[in-house]
């Protein structure tokens, strides 16, 4: 990740706008999906939209907890979730219905925005090491937004596959009609 110079370091308002923008894109990506579409896998090995949605609030909470520790001065290195944690978050989708997933997303973002509001410019500038890079708290918050944006794009690609009829169930239906 590139380092942010003091002159381009984002303030709280810019970070809030970034978080709000990615959340809007995410909600736009799931609008008007049926429950069946949310749980359907486009193809083996790819997550369902429900799995992606269940993962996001958990990941946001984990990333925010790391940023909070750095902002408090409690941590100088950032830990990322393990593959096991990632699998557990995806499995949570099986136990939740879409409205619960959306409420969980809203709750996680509310906590992140509360955290952001509590920071001053010094807090935003605190640094920690993460996988060989040095990140500020502001960059960690930006990563939360970037992570969500990546998954919003992923959901849009899955939707396009549904709409173009390139998922297994439609292929089976076409074969049956021949």
Q: CB-based contacts of 111: which residues, under 8 Å, 6+ apart?
A: 61, 64
**Which pLDDT does position 9 carry in this prediction?**
55
**Which pLDDT does position 1 carry in this prediction?**
39
Full-model pTM: 0.82
What is the Cα 122 distance to its own chain's centre? 26
Is residue 32 within 8 Å of 156, Cβ to Cβ? no
Is residue 41 within 8 Å of 92, Cβ to Cβ? no
pLDDT band at 176 (very low <50, low <70, confident <90, very high): low
Q: CA dihedral defined by 130, 147, 119, 76, rounded to 10 degrees? A: -10
């Amino acid at each position: 990740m590139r380092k942010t110079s003091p002159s381009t370091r984002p303030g709280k308002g810019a970070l809030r706008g970034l978080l709000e923008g990615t959340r809007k894109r995410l909600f736009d990506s799931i609008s008007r999906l049926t429950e069946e579409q949310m749980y359907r896998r486009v193809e083996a090995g790819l997550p369902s939209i429900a799995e992606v949605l269940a993962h996001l609030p958990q990941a946001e909470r984990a990333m925010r907890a790391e940023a909070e520790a750095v902002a408090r001065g409690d941590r100088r290195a950032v830990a990322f979730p393990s593959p096991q944690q990632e699998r557990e978050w995806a499995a949570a989708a099986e136990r939740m219905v879409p409205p619960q997933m959306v409420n969980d997303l809203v709750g996680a973002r509310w906590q992140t925005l509360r955290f952001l509001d509590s920071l001053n410019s010094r807090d935003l500038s605190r640094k920690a090491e993460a996988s060989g890079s040095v990140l500020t708290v502001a960059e960690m918050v930006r990563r939360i937004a970037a992570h969500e944006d990546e998954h919003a794009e992923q959901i849009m690609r899955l939707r396009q596959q549904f709409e173009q009829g390139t998922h297994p169930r439609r292929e089976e239906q076409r074969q049956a009609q021949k």
